């Protein structure tokens, strides 16, 4: 049985911009396709209440509530499948699993390795992997039930083509860098993309990293600034 959890938030805003993605997928048959394959699907939409909503406060409210929803789904014997507007929702999912043996395969055009100190935009969703690996927002992530940072070597970055300058040096010095370096791809004329975060055991993530490794591992990461988020 799958519990399909919609987390329709983007930068603290409900059902706006990227936060509309979950409902779009469900409206266009995500749950029905699963049911058509013989899977029992339970659905829910997460929403948080905040008397004075700000991006930072709501973001971490959402991560805490996501952790609770995932934990409850697992306790009920269901597999949580989370559709979210922001990539950093993965931090809440990891917390909800409450397992010391979580590895992450991060399929995204962006590395999301910025921190508040290094980012020129302050875009929190560009800090997802940095948060996941314990590099920033550490006091706030400690408030997420069950969350513990995932070791660098248990995070596999796949498909990145767009890196901010601030991310490059820290990625090159970390075990979370793409195992085969960054292929030199041109920026896509269409910036839309779908991000998929796959959670696996740490051993599986390490094994997959080794299989993805190649002699080109030492290639330089391509410095390329992404545009600032729309207001």
Say yes or no: 188 and 156 in one domain. yes
Instruction: Answer yes or no: are the C-beta atoms of 213 and 179 closer than 8 Å.
Output: yes
119 domain residue, yes or no: yes
Burial 60-89 (b: 16+ CB within 10 A, else e): bbbbbbbbbbbbebbeeebebbbbbbbbbb
94 domain residue, yes or no: no
21 domain residue, yes or no: yes
- Comparing 121 with 7, the larger pLDDT belongs to 7
The whole-number pLDDT of residue 209 equals 72
- Comparing 50 with 220, the larger pLDDT belongs to 50
Say yes or no: 109 and 222 in one domain. yes
15 domain residue, yes or no: yes
Q: Which of these ranges, 11-25, 140-154, 217-231, has the smallest mean pLDDT?
A: 217-231
In the predicted structure, residue 8 carries a pLDDT above the cut 90: yes
Instruction: Answer yes or no: are the C-beta atoms of 62 and 46 closer than 8 Å.
Output: yes
As a whole number, mean pLDDT of residues 99-107 equals 90
Say yes or no: 68 and 109 in one domain. no
Say yes or no: 75 and 136 in one domain. no
Q: Please provide the average confidence, as pLDDT, over all residues in the chain.
A: 85
In the predicted structure, residue 152 carries a pLDDT above the cut 80: yes
Say yes or no: 69 and 175 in one domain. no
The whole-number pLDDT of residue 86 equals 96
As a whole number, mean pLDDT of residues 103-121 equals 92
Read off the pLDDT band of 10 (50, 70, 90).
Answer: very high
Radius of gyration of the chain (CA): 17
The whole-number pLDDT of residue 172 equals 85
The whole-number pLDDT of residue 180 equals 56
Say yes or no: 79 and 109 in one domain. no
91 domain residue, yes or no: no
Q: How confident is the model over 50-95, as pLDDT tens digits?
A: 889 999 999 999 999 999 999 999 999 999 999 999 999 999 999 9
Share of the chain above pLDDT 70, in %: 83
In the predicted structure, residue 217 carries a pLDDT above the cut 60: no
As a whole number, mean pLDDT of residues 111-116 equals 94
Answer with the one of 63, 86, 109 that is the final residue of a domain. Answer: 86
**How many beta carbons lie within 10 A of that of residue 211, not counting itself?**
10
- Give the whole-angstrom CA distance, residue 81 versus residue 111: 22
Instruction: Answer yes or no: are the C-beta atoms of 38 and 65 closer than 8 Å.
Output: no
Q: How confident is the model over 32-53, as pLDDT tens digits?
A: 999 999 999 999 999 999 889 9
As for how many domains the chain has, the answer is: 2
107 domain residue, yes or no: yes
- Whose tokens are 């030492």? That residue is 218
In 107-173, which residue ranges form alpha helices assigned H by DSSP? 128-132, 138-141, 165-172
Say yes or no: 126 and 197 in one domain. yes
Domain that holds residue 169: 100-231
As a whole number, mean pLDDT of residues 182-194 equals 45
- Whose tokens are 């979210």? That residue is 84
């Amino acid at each position: 049985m799958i519990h399909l959890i919609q987390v329709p938030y983007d930068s603290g805003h409900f059902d706006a911009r990227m936060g509309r993605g979950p409902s779009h997928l469900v409206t266009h048959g995500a749950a029905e396709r699963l049911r058509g394959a013989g899977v029992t699907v339970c659905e829910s939409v997460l929403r948080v209440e905040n008397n004075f909503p700000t991006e930072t406060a709501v973001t971490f409210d959402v991560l805490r509530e996501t952790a609770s929803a995932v934990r409850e789904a697992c306790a009920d014997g269901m597999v949580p499948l989370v559709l979210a507007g922001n990539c950093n929702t993965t931090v809440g999912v990891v917390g909800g699993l409450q397992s010391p043996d979580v590895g992450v395969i991060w399929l995204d055009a962006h590395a999301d390795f910025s921190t508040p100190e290094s980012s020129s935009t302050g875009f929190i969703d560009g800090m997802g992997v940095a948060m996941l690996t314990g590099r920033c927002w550490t006091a706030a992530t400690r408030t997420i039930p069950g969350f513990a940072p995932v070791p660098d070597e248990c995070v596999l970055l796949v498909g990145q083509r767009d890196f901010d300058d601030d991310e490059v040096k820290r990625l090159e010095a970390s075990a979370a860098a793409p195992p085969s370096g960054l292929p030199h791809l041109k920026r896509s004329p269409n910036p839309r993309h779908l991000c998929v975060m796959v959670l696996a055991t740490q051993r599986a993530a390490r094994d997959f990293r080794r299989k993805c490794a190649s002699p080109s591992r030492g290639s330089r990461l391509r410095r390329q600034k992404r545009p600032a988020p729309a207001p």
